[in-house]
Amino acid sequence: MKFTEEHEWLREEDGEMVVGITIHAAEQLGDVVFVELPEEGTVVSKDDEVVVIESVKAASDILAPVDGEITEVNSALAENPSLVNEDPQGDAWFFKMKISDPSQLDEFMDEAGYQKFIG
C-alpha cells in the first residue's frame, strides 16, 4: 500500500489502483453519514475533487491522488456509509482507477512512513 499526506491509501489490484482513506482519517471524521462517489468512466487529474464524505463532524472532499480514469466505484458505500468507519482500509474503498502515469506513485509513503507522518 501507498499513503498520501491527505490520508488516502492506494493498493494495486489487477493492474488498477484501489483508493480509500486511512484508519486515521476515518477516526478524525467521526461517524460517516453520506458518501458521494464519482461516475465510472470519469477521467481525473491529480488533486481533482472526486468523492464527498459527510460525517457528523464535517464534510470533506477526497482528491484524486493521481491522474487516470475511474473504472469502478464502491456502490456499497452509498447504501451503507458507516462502512468507512468500520473498515476504512478494506471493504470501504471508494473507487478503482487506471492510472495514466505510474511515476506519480513514487511520491507517496509506505506504511512506516505514513505512521511516522501521523505520529
Spatial separation of the C-alpha atoms in residues 118 and 77, rounded to whole Å? 26
Whether residue 119 is contained in a domain is answered as: no
Whether residue 107 is contained in a domain is answered as: no
Q: What is the CA radius of gyration of the chain?
A: 13
Range of the domain at 31: 2-100
Q: What is the number of structural domains in the chain?
A: 1
Spatial separation of the C-alpha atoms in residues 100 and 64, rounded to whole Å? 12
CATH of the domain at 79: 2.40.50.100
Whether residue 116 is contained in a domain is answered as: no
pTM of the model as a whole: 0.94
Indicate the pLDDT class of residue 115, thresholds 50, 70 and 90: very high
**What is the structure's pLDDT at 58?**
87
Over the stretch 4-15, which tens digit does the pLDDT of each residue have? 999 999 999 999
CA distances (Å), origin 82, targets 27, 44, 55, 56, 97: 12, 26, 9, 11, 23
